[in-house]
Structure 1
Amino acid sequence: MPSHEDFEMLDFLADSDFKEWVLYQTNAPYWNTFIQDNPHKAECIKEAKEFILTMATPLQQSHNAIKRANWDTIESAISSPADDKKIIKRFPNNKMILRIAACLIPLCMLFAYLHYYGRTTSAAALEYKNEYGRRTEITLPDSSSIVLVGKATLRTKKSWHKEEQREVWLEGNAYFKVKHLHQKGTKVHPSDQFIVHTNQNGHVEVLGTTFHINSQYQQVSIYLESGSVRVTKDHQTALLKPGEEVTLSDAGFQLKEKPAFVANWQQQELTLQKTPLFEVLRINREVFGNQIMLPTSVDTTQLLDGVLPFSSQNQLLKSLSTLLDKEVHTQSTDLSTP
């Protein structure tokens, strides 16, 4: 079976294993696990699945209709006192069946294409990428704003329908300011909800709020600045209040009422609250993509307090040197693997 991580819509439609799963549930455990491990592919897989089912259903229906017509003819012939010639005359031959199929198949394909195109044109994916040392500001169709920091990727739809949930898929660091659409005192509609899908199978659900996400390969942290959010991982759920943080990892689900540090991606500063130095070094790697070199006498477990700006790496190095009373510098490193 080929690797499906880099598949796009047309790749899935052409893949025999994918079609076997859609039509006959062949190798279902593999595909269920693949969707869980690749949440950013969920929309693409959903649309490809709908297209295949749309194509298959009319063809199956026409095939069944032909079989029913044949059976009706046979039953009619059996119950009628007509002679053998009449029976043969009324029974559709193979050529007739082929002509019917030849007419129906193009019509079914046209129907399926129009149905699929109408549903997926507005659902086409948009992908935003940000690189180390840079910052990308994004305005979504609902006027919500997102700031990507460090090496990060955000995926979403080109346009959002009023009856659909607002959804994005994030890998990396980002600041969210979500526009509140729900009218107080009214029923919450799907379009009122805003959902962020992250690594570690995490899901952040909000109505309107501001929060920060650090979504890395092995760990995801969500810090709530204002409003309220619900964070879900597998079967665990946490409701955050402003100032709280939750961390998702293979080890589990950890809620922190007073996090050791707050990475404010919007203000481009790191607030330290008895924060181990090694956490600052990690954040530097995520934002700027290189390693801070320290004198051998510096203990990376020492706890720090204060505010470190990181709008530029030079600023961060100067502030850290002052805080440690030691000269620090950087060394480039390969961060292509987690």
Structure 2
Amino acid sequence: MQNNQVTTDYTDFTLEHFLADPSFRTWAKGTADANTTTYWQQVIGIYPQHEATIGQAVAIIRKLSQPSPSATFNGQQLSWKTIETQINGHTTRKTISWIRYAAVAAAIVLLAVASWLLLSKQPQLQQQTLAAQRQRMVLPDSSVVTLGANSSLSYNTWQPGKPREVWLKGEAYFEINHLNKDSAHITPAQRFLVHVNDNITVEVLGTVFLVRNRRGKTAVSLESGSVKVNIAGTRQQQLMLKPGETVELNPQQNLVELHPQKDSIPTQWRSGNLMLNNTSVREILQLLEDNYNRTVKVASPELLDKRVDGILPLNNEQHALMALSSILDAEFREHTNGTLVLKKN
């Protein structure tokens, strides 16, 4: 392009039009001469309303110009070179037809590239438990995780030199393999990260701890070693826990509470029995809901604040409900939708 004076009217140009313009494609790929580069810079200055569209078109063309990852469509490799060839080979068609073809093909390849990039970052390996089920698993680094009921743990194949990362939904008891020799100098490969949600990450070394993520709230209870809880979002914090401490976080209400661990209830589900020691019925019912994936309603509200002692079996739902009914002198009735209703006798 010898003359860089803008003579074309770009007022009504769309993404499809920019993608189909050979001069624009050359400039977008970074292979244009000085005159062409100046020309498209002038276009952006004259038509600022198209700046976002031009940026999108440039991103598409540059993605398509990369040799990998490759994507196929009906068995044919889709690249910008392929699209250009097919566009130029159909000059007898109406201009808008091959413009649309180019845009559709470009969108397909961009979607394939974006999907590949997204999937490469998502957890690929997953363990999941059902109602009343617990599962003990050994991770590739020999760390041991006991997964609670209605929970899942996901992780990618760990790469040498990079942190060990897992994603937790529900609750799990971790016994992390101690890799670092010097706690003052921790390499990336020695870090172990538990991602609970978008805002909370638990960073550990050689540690035994529990992470519980239920009802929009997260609790981390430390049994031994040390952990650092990173809280992102509008209120960024880092909390170091000591053995015997529990931190409770409610991101929705922006609340963080640190206190001594009151009892061993958070980890008792590992043994299959819940030791009740002046435990409120309200707390027991919440644990039953989490363990059996049930909704429990109370027809006699006065029962909620009652405190009880005893042993509640967790491996069998019917046994647990019968035991609690006996302790409370009440009964559970199941509705057709699966909801349990607790009512005093």
**Normalising by structure 1, what TM-score?**
0.59
Is 2:58 aligned against 1:64? no
Correspondent of 1:283 among 264, 281, 287: 287
C-alpha offsets along residues 181-231 of structure 1, whole Å, 9 cap, x if unaligned? 112377311111111111372111101212122212421111112221111
How big is the shift at 1:301?
1.0
Is 2:217 aligned against 1:213? no
Report what 1:301 is aligned to.
305
AA paired with 1:303? R
CA distance in 2, matches of 1:60, 1:123: 34
Cα contact 1:138–1:147 (8 A) shared by 2 = yes
Distance 1:266 1:191, change over 3 A: farther
How big is the shift at 1:278?
0.4
The equivalences for 1:109-120 within 5 A come to: 109-113=66-70
Correspondent of 2:260 among 254, 257, 260: 257
CA distance in 2, matches of 1:242, 1:307: 26
How big is the shift at 1:259?
2.8
- Secondary structure of 1:279's counterpart equals helix
AA paired with 1:218? G
Report what 2:240 is aligned to.
239
Cα contact 2:123–2:154 (8 A) shared by 1 = no
The equivalences for 1:13-28 within 5 A come to: none
CA distance in 2, matches of 1:297, 1:165: 48
Cα contact 2:134–2:270 (8 A) shared by 1 = no
How big is the shift at 1:302?
2.2
The equivalences for 1:308-319 within 5 A come to: 308-319=312-323
AA paired with 1:160? W
How big is the shift at 1:246?
1.1
Report what 1:149 is aligned to.
148
AA paired with 2:237? Q
AA paired with 1:225? E
Supply the RMSD in Å over aligned alpha carbons.
Answer: 3.9
How big is the shift at 1:241?
1.8
CA distance in 1, matches of 2:208, 2:226: 9
Report what 1:331 is aligned to.
334
How big is the shift at 1:327?
4.8
Report what 2:42 is aligned to.
none
Report what 2:221 is aligned to.
223
AA paired with 1:209? T
AA paired with 1:64? G
How big is the shift at 1:136?
2.6
Report what 1:166 is aligned to.
164
AA paired with 2:67? L
Cα contact 1:292–1:328 (8 A) shared by 2 = no
Distance 1:263 1:69, change over 3 A: same
CA distance in 1, matches of 2:136, 2:208: 15
Report what 1:182 is aligned to.
180
Cα contact 1:293–1:329 (8 A) shared by 2 = no
CA distance in 2, matches of 1:293, 1:62: 61
The alignment covers a number of residue pairs equal to 244
How big is the shift at 1:334?
5.7
Report what 1:92 is aligned to.
none
CA distance in 2, matches of 1:285, 1:107: 50
- Secondary structure of 1:266's counterpart equals helix
- Secondary structure of 1:301's counterpart equals coil
